[in-house]
Amino acid sequence: MLVVFGGLPGTGKTALSRPFAEESGAVYLRIDTIEQALRESSGLGDDVGAAGYEIAYGLARDNLRLGRTVIADCVNPIAITRNAWRDLAAEVGAPIVEVEVVCSDKAEHRRRVETRRGDIAGLKLPVWDEVVMREYETWDRPHLILDTARITPAQALEELRRQVDARLLR
């Protein structure tokens, strides 16, 4: 199974996807980690383009073919990236669950962005203006939406488990 998390920075994607991957024993792919490694090793500077996503797609493909569950933690901001994940799942015959993590309380979202601490050495976290100005297209198909402004992290994780289990039983 492929579980793809998307959402703007500071909404809680990593806070949900990391423990979900840990408890399920899934392969965990975080685009921020991949992109920072690219910056450090290749001299690409801040703009790594689509390279981080392309690397993640390849790693996900290999692990799905081995029968492993893969959790992808990424902003997944546009239809092109979302379609690529969906196409990848179809290619290898794996079920996919697409999860959008949102924080509907703008003041809370801003507080999170402005107070969070990075956990990837060297990664420059976006400031609030960069988050709100970021290209982020509306999703055009059914997907799971978790609003972290309305529920606790524990409740969000429980809802995620429930929804993933329900989708697997279909």
Q: Does residue 35 have a pLDDT over 70? A: yes
Beta bridge partners of 96: 2
Helices 51-65 and 79-92, axial angle in degrees (round to 10)? 20
What would the mean pLDDT of 9-24 be, rounded to a whole number? 95
- And the tokens for 32? 């921020």
Query: pLDDT for 81-111, tens place per residue?
Result: 999 999 999 999 999 999 999 999 999 999 9
Exposure string for 29-55, b = 16+ CB within 10 A, e = fewer: bbbbbbbbebbeeeeeeeebeeebbeb
Q: Does residue 148 have a pLDDT over 80? A: yes
Element (H, E) at 5: strand 2-6
What would the mean pLDDT of 140-163 be, rounded to a whole number? 92
| Amino acid letter, residue 134 | R
Cα distance from N-terminal residue to C-terminal residue, the chain: 13
Query: pLDDT for 116-137, tens place per residue?
Result: 988 988 888 899 999 999 999 9
Task: Tell me the residue length of the chain.
Answer: 170
The residue extents of the domains of the chain are: 2-168
Class of the CATH-defined domain 2-168: alpha beta
Query: pLDDT for 60-70, tens place per residue?
Result: 999 999 999 99
Asked if 20 and 3 touch (Cβ cutoff 8 Å), the reply is yes
Element (H, E) at 42: helix 31-42
Q: Phi and psi for 64 in degrees, rounded to 5? A: -65, -40
d(CA 14, CA 43) in angstroms, rounded, equals 26
